[in-house]
Amino acid sequence: MSFKRRIRKRSILIAAIPLILSWAFFLKIRVDDINDRIKQDLKQTSFVVSSTPTVQEKLKERKNDFTIQNYVKKYMETFENVDIIVVGDMTEEKYSHLDESQIGKKYVNSDAKRVVETGESYYSTMKGSMGVTLRYFEPVYYKGKQVGFVMVGKYLKDVEAVTNRIIYIGLFSLVVVMIITIFLSESFARKIKKEMLGMEPDEIARLYNEKKVILNTISEGIIAIDKNKKILEINDNCLKIFENLNIDELIEKLSDYIDKKEPIDMKEFNISGEKTFITLDFIKDEDRELGALITLVKSEDINRVAREITGIDELLKNIRANVHEFKNKLHVILGLINIEEYEEAKKYIAECQEEVLKSSTRVANINDNFISAMLISKRLIANENNISFRINEKSYMKETHGNISSVDLITILGNLIENAFDACLEKEGQGQVDVFIDEDEENVIIEVSDNGKKIDEEIKDDIFKNGVSSKGKGRGIGLSTIKGRVDLYGGNIEIKEFRKQKKFRITIKRRE
């Protein structure tokens, strides 16, 4: 199965399961509500009739002179959800009935015996002379002594008709939503495929392995750095040839060239007491700056170089899928679908590329529609994992954020919450995650605190580096991604640890 099909299938599955469960839950509540309302109306009606002095006196005197029939007939239309009212005495003789020919005859069904013999009030379902009905029996008392009973009923066929109508409407709505979901999942799958340059994951993995092999077969030392001068890759030969290499010293000596975006072509430097020829090339994707590639060659090897060393033209890209980013986008889409913002969901998929977002849905005072949707989905996940998830009622966020993209805010906030969930799941007891968001004309402030596992002291200083995590191999992407987004806007991150809680506070400068 192709990657596009897998994405489409899983997107539909992720959307369909909560939709179907929500539909079933809504249907059950709606049907139960109808049944409860009908039962309540039957009970109230029977109480009104049984409390009427005329009914009590006639039953006590056992005068079946149509007085009760006329009374019931007169007020029948005022009773809601009531089809049948039968009044009987202690001998089960009928004093009122829809079919007047039944008046004076005995009550034929056995479900009246209980009210006559015990004086209890109860519901019953049974077929009578007018069809299957849901009934409520109420005893009638006169001066403390039972003199008869009232049976109030509702035709079950009417209840079933209302229930079926609700089911049909619900099914139609579910089908419409599923069609929209399929369309959105197809669009999302196409976008993901496009971002992957039309390649399948195994093709990307093969390409990554091939480039890594190529990098390690190069006889010179190769160091790749990002635009923030952080080391991305060092080939094996660099460590073998330059055993005493001080990388910090190297980056410091090249810092001015990197800041000025000035390439170096085979220039000699003294690095760690050893003469070394260095080539510095900058890597771009069209007009986007990615980083730089440093090539190192020992001076003693220059005579053996057949041609000018140019270095590698492109940096080996980090092609590991950003699991946290992908998950947050799915959460946003799930949240939008849960709040029935289908057009907004469609816009979000397109605007992930454009990074221009509009919003219309709110959680408390969160006026950014997509942040609101993500918080809703996070709340659902927290509930599933028995985590208390609270959004500070004083939180506030504008609809737009100046130069700050909503997509980047989703990445920052989503990863912080996700890491807080993970920390809560790694400890015993009730997990608790608190979120506070505030925005004014100058700053966007995000605070996420949890009572989960504390930060490992061994990785505390390197927690924002790519791949550093206490959760095992293949993790450690989220905080690195957060740091990258925060640095992009010149923001800062603070971490505070208390006895039973830790808090991440992020401040981002906003400009119009």
Mean of all residue pLDDT scores within the chain: 78
Would the pLDDT of 354 be above 90? Answer: no
In tens, the pLDDT along 24-47 reads: 787 778 777 878 888 888 888 889
> Is there a single domain that holds both residue 287 and residue 365?
no
Question: Residue 50's domain spans which residues?
Answer: 32-160
Select, from the ranges 206-215, 331-340, 441-450, 459-468, the one with the highest average predicted confidence (pLDDT): 441-450
Confirm whether 500 is domain-assigned. yes
Residue 230 sits in a domain whose CATH number is: 3.30.450.20
Tell me the pLDDT tens digit for each residue of 157-169. Answer: 766 676 777 777 7
Higher per-residue pLDDT: 239 or 496: 496
What is the CB-side half-sphere exposure of residue 458 using CA atoms within 13 A? 4
The pLDDT of residue 236 is: 77
**Separation between Cα atoms, residue 295 and residue 148, nearest integer Å:** 103
For residues 292 and 389, membership in a common domain is answered with: no
Together in a domain, 494 and 374: yes
Q: What pLDDT shows up at residue 498?
A: 87
Q: Are residues 148 and 71 in the same domain?
A: yes
The answer to whether position 276 is within a domain reads: yes
* In-domain check, residue 23: no
| Banded model confidence at residue 505, pLDDT cuts 50, 70, 90 | very high
- Counting the structural domains of the chain, the total is 3
Mean pLDDT across the stretch 18-28? 76
Q: Are residues 300 and 329 in the same domain?
A: no
Residues 295 and 333 in one domain: no
Tell whether the model's pLDDT for residue 387 goes beyond 80. Answer: yes
Range of weakest confidence among 127-131, 132-136, 260-264, 482-486: 127-131
Average pLDDT over residues 147-162: 81
Whether residue 192 lies inside any domain: the answer is: no
CATH, residue 386:
3.30.565.10
Please report whether residue 184 resides in a domain: no
Residue 213 lies in a domain: no
pLDDT-derived band at 461, boundaries 50, 70, 90: confident
Q: Are residues 131 and 63 in the same domain?
A: yes
What is the per-residue DSSP string for 198-243? Answer: T--HHHHHHHHHHHHHHHHH-SSEEEEEETT--EEEE-HHHHHH-T
Q: Is the pTM of this model over 0.75?
A: no
pLDDT interval class at 480 (50, 70, 90): confident
Strands 431-439 and 387-391: parallel
Separation between Cα atoms, residue 84 and residue 73, nearest integer Å = 10
Domain boundary among 141, 160, 179: 160
